Structure 1
Amino acid sequence: MLDQHGLSSAPPPTDSLFWRLWQPCIPIAEKTLNTPFMSGIKSASLDPVTYGGFNVSDAYYCFNGAQSYLAAESRTSDEVLKFFLLEKYKRYQAYNEAFPTIWHIRDANGVVPTTACRDYAQFESDTASHADPIYTLIMMIPCEYLWYWLANQLMPPSPGNLYAPWITGNNSASGAYAMGNFLDQYQKEHPGAIDEDKAMSIYSTAMNFEWKNFLSATQP
């Protein structure tokens, strides 16, 4: 996909929209890193039941996230953006296929998500259904890049850490960087198409939902 459209998974240019969105949100990332959930992942002290509950709730987000990508894909006429959104939908679908086997969850209907997870999924659905489709991609970058950033802060996992697969499995920024490089290309090809204030609002809202989602994992 990247070769076909001249995209790269290397870090986006330092002056790109990708970094202009990320830099102001670093304090949110740091708050997320300091949640009890992430501290428990780092120290391997997180209750496995809590970890399991988080993943079950996250399944609700992932099942709905796939549909958000598909909704946005159906609303754009830009061939590259359409292809990009469809590929992201397919990757979510492939990921979601593991839930029935690992967690015995068929779809979102049987999940009782945390309030933060439910509201996050609704925000994504509303954005994908009503905003210009390019903002769906912007909205999804926090999910892609924050998880990498968190994992990278925890590297290397301590020997015997039960949660080492979570840390090593999320320690890749290639997907997020590809999205950032696509945004850079999109802005060059469509000058003025992205309202950066609106992009910042959507991005920071998604970042805050990520923090609230991790925070809610250890709350009653």
Structure 2
Amino acid sequence: MKTSTLLCLCFLGFSYSLAVDDVYEYLWEKNKDIANKTIGLDFLRQMENGSLQAERYVNFTIQDIGYLLKVTKMLKRMSAKIAQPNDIRDFMKGRYLSYKSFADFMLKQYFFKGEPLIQQTPAMRKYLAVYRNLMDNEEPLYFAVGLLPCARLWVWLAENLNTPPTNAYYTWKVENMGGHPEKHYRALLNKYLITPEKVAKANAMFRAQMQNEHDFFFSS
């Protein structure tokens, strides 16, 4: 009896430890190990020291454009189908407009007249499949959770890569530095992820997407 009571108390203590005050920061800190593994990949280290072959960077950029176009379409669907609550609806609309603007910029920058037909790598197919599952089978909030790893990781990578201004890839660093994803995500996640079960579910999804980011860089 004493043993079962103790186990029950331990379980409750563990569960309540998941209901943290700042879920936004909790998700990052719990999965920062993947960020540290990602920044050590040869693709990023070669970007950092300027030895990355141009062909690899071009292929990476093409896959990134494909990702951007697909996620923009999903955000368009999400923003159209959500009527309530207002803050989640507004989040999806805001992210859609932001992604759409950046997608249009990328297409123009690389002289595409329309949306290109891009063959996805296995890593990218897996990544986008997770997004589709979140869109089709989960509450809208978890689609927001799925977006966050990309938004948070790329800023962190750019700020932590010691790429000098003379490096050809310095532009990538500059373009991805200085972002503030917390402006869009922190209040929303902290408002709705208020139970241990929701935090645990969000953490699993966040970690899966962090791994997909890692695998994207690894395969590039």
- TM-score for the superposition, normalised by structure 1: 0.83
More helix, by proportion: 2
1:172 paired with 2:172, answer no
Q: Distance in 1 between matches of 2:177 and 2:187?
A: 19
Partner of 1:145: 152
Partner of 1:107: 115
1:57 paired with 2:63, answer yes
1:209 paired with 2:212, answer yes
Output aligned runs, 1:17-166, within 5 Å. Answer: 17-73=23-79, 74-105=81-112, 106-107=114-115, 110-155=117-162, 157-166=163-172
- SS state of the match for residue 97, structure 1? helix
- SS state of the match for residue 143, structure 2? helix
- SS state of the match for residue 174, structure 1? coil
Change (3 A) 1:194 1:86: farther
Partner of 1:196: 199
Q: Distance in 2 between matches of 1:145 and 1:200?
A: 14
Q: CA offsets per residue over residues 65-104 of structure 1, 9 Å max, x none?
A: 1122223331451111101111101111111112332334
| Amino acid in structure 2 at the alignment position of 1:79 | N
RMSD: 2.0
Q: Distance in 1 between matches of 2:182 and 2:43?
A: 23
Change (3 A) 1:85 1:194: farther
Displacement of 1:192 in angstroms is 4.3
Change (3 A) 1:196 1:76: farther
Larger radius of gyration: 2
Q: Distance in 1 between matches of 2:134 and 2:178?
A: 26
Displacement of 1:48 in angstroms is 1.3
| Amino acid in structure 1 at the alignment position of 2:105 | A
| Amino acid in structure 2 at the alignment position of 1:90 | L
Paired residues in the alignment total: 199
Partner of 1:6: none
| Amino acid in structure 1 at the alignment position of 2:217 | F
Q: Distance in 1 between matches of 2:22 and 2:47?
A: 32
The gaps in structure 1 that reach 5 residues or longer are: 1-13
The gaps in structure 2 that reach 5 residues or longer are: 1-19
Change (3 A) 1:107 1:122: farther
Q: Distance in 2 between matches of 1:136 and 1:87?
A: 14
Q: What fraction of aligned residue pairs are identical, expressed as a percent? A: 22
| Amino acid in structure 2 at the alignment position of 1:202 | M
CA contact (8 A) 1:142 1:203 kept: yes
Q: CA offsets per residue over residues 37-65 of structure 1, 9 Å max, x none?
A: 11011111111111111010111111111
Partner of 1:3: none
- SS state of the match for residue 119, structure 2? coil
CA contact (8 A) 2:21 2:190 kept: no
Partner of 2:191: 185
